[in-house]
Amino acid sequence: MTQIISGRDISTEIRAELREKVSVLKSDYGVTPGLATVLVGSDPASQMYVGMKNKAAQAMGIHSEQLTLETETSEEELLGAVEELNGNPEIHGILVQLPLPDHIDEARVIEAIDPSKDVDGFHPISVGRLATGSGDYFAPCTPAGVVEMLVRSGHDPAGKHVVVVGRSNIVGKPAAALLMRKAVGGNATVTIAHSRTKDLAAVTRTADILVVAMGRPEMITGDMVAEGSVVIDVGTNRVDDETREKGYRVCGDVLFDEVKVKAAAISPVPGGVGPMTITMLLANTVKSAGISVGSVV
């Protein structure tokens, strides 16, 4: 029987732990973790994501604020808003929803966030500290979720060969950094494969654990994975499907039915990595609030 690694279930488990931590922070330290989300413009997908994040935060007892700015907002105005949140003692985590409108320099905005509130983990200081393992930092939410899924489903990556397919700054590269750390969830031998990799199948077949984050629908087929391996599918793709009411279906980067037959364990899409991303954002916000009061919960 192939083990199905449910991000939904693991997420529920982590959120219960977080709720507990939030109540300890409130009762013992007098602090309520605070998350600020910043949305520029009215992209429906971004609106939905930000809404989900705030709702999830509130359900956890986290104080959450959403700042919505017009598409025409200038870079300076946005930087001013970030600056204000940096200085707001009620806010422990700042999330600027990406992508930003074209006239705004995304890198400049991300670098304006106080690293001690960078719960998205995209500030170069956060990225650098994750790479070197020094100081306090927040790991990007999606790859942090992948690691949690592995550890909590009984597949500690330590000493295993993990192949990460994809080298994005949001998933692939930080996932590799987390998996090679000298820390729980790390100590793996890590290979990063990507669009320029020759004979991808030959590489993916060497994986004890395969993490796929390419954004290509169902590209990983049964012949590309080793018998008995563990497969985490980070992809979320919409593909046309006239048999569905909506005209599309959501699938991962892994051809689930084929790969499931060979894998010892596999995460589904939806219900896999997806729910973990928001959960890790909440975890980072709670961690940040904890650090701010010197708590160790």
What is the C-alpha to C-alpha distance for residues 100 and 109, in angstroms, rounded to an integer? 9
Cis peptide bond upstream of 174, omega within 30:
no
Give least dist CB 114 to its own copies, A: 14
Residues 33-52 that bind its own copies (CB under 8 A): none
The SS3 of residue 260 is helix
What is the C-alpha to C-alpha distance for residues 150 and 65, in angstroms, rounded to an integer? 32
Q: Using CB under 8 A as the criterion, what x/- string covers residues 107-136 for binding its own copies?
A: x---------------xxxxxxx-xxxxx-
Closest to its own copies by CB, 25 or 180: 180
Give least dist CB 230 to its own copies, A: 16
Closest to its own copies by CB, 95 or 163: 163
Residue 16 CB coordination number (10 Å)? 10
Query: 33: closest CA among 18, 12, 17, 50?
Result: 18
Residue 236 CB coordination number (10 Å)? 17
Residues in a beta bridge with 266: 4, 231
Q: Indicate which single residue of 144, 193, 209, 280 sits in contact with its own copies (rule: CB under 8 A).
A: 193
Residues with a known catalytic role: 53, 97, 120
Q: Does 175 bind its own copies (CB under 8 A)?
A: no
| Angle of the 273-292 helix axis to the 141-152 helix axis, nearest 10 | 100
Give least dist CB 161 to its own copies, A: 7
Closest to its own copies by CB, 24 or 183: 183
Q: Does 30 bind its own copies (CB under 8 A)?
A: no
Q: Does 196 bind its own copies (CB under 8 A)?
A: yes
Closest to its own copies by CB, 14 or 226: 226
What is the C-alpha to C-alpha distance for residues 112 and 123, in angstroms, rounded to an integer? 8
Half-sphere exposure of 85 (CA within 13 A, CB side): 31
Q: Does 177 bind its own copies (CB under 8 A)?
A: yes
Q: Six-digit token pair at 199?
A: 């004979």
Q: Does 230 bind its own copies (CB under 8 A)?
A: no
Closest to its own copies by CB, 17 or 136: 136
Q: Which stretch binds its own copies (CB under 8 A): 12-20, 30-38, 168-176, 220-228?
A: 168-176
Give least dist CB 269 to its own copies, A: 25
Q: Using CB under 8 A as the criterion, what x/- string covers residues 243-272 for binding its own copies?
A: ------------------------------
The footprint of its own copies on this chain (CB under 8 A) covers a number of residues equal to 37
User: 117-128 burial, b if ≥16 CB within 10 A, otherwise e?
Assistant: bbbbbbbeebbe
Those residues with Cβ within 8 angstroms of residue 36's Cβ, 6 or more apart along the chain or in another chain: 64, 65, 66, 67, 85, 88, 91, 93, 94, 95
Q: Does 194 bind its own copies (CB under 8 A)?
A: yes
Q: Six-digit token pair at 209?
A: 């654990």
Give least dist CB 173 to its own copies, A: 6
Q: Does 99 bind its own copies (CB under 8 A)?
A: no
User: 205-214 burial, b if ≥16 CB within 10 A, otherwise e?
Assistant: bebbbbbbbb
Q: Does 21 bind its own copies (CB under 8 A)?
A: no
Question: For binding to its own copies (CB under 8 A), which residues are involved?
Answer: 107, 123-129, 131-135, 158-161, 167, 169, 173, 176-177, 180, 182, 187-194, 196-198, 203, 206
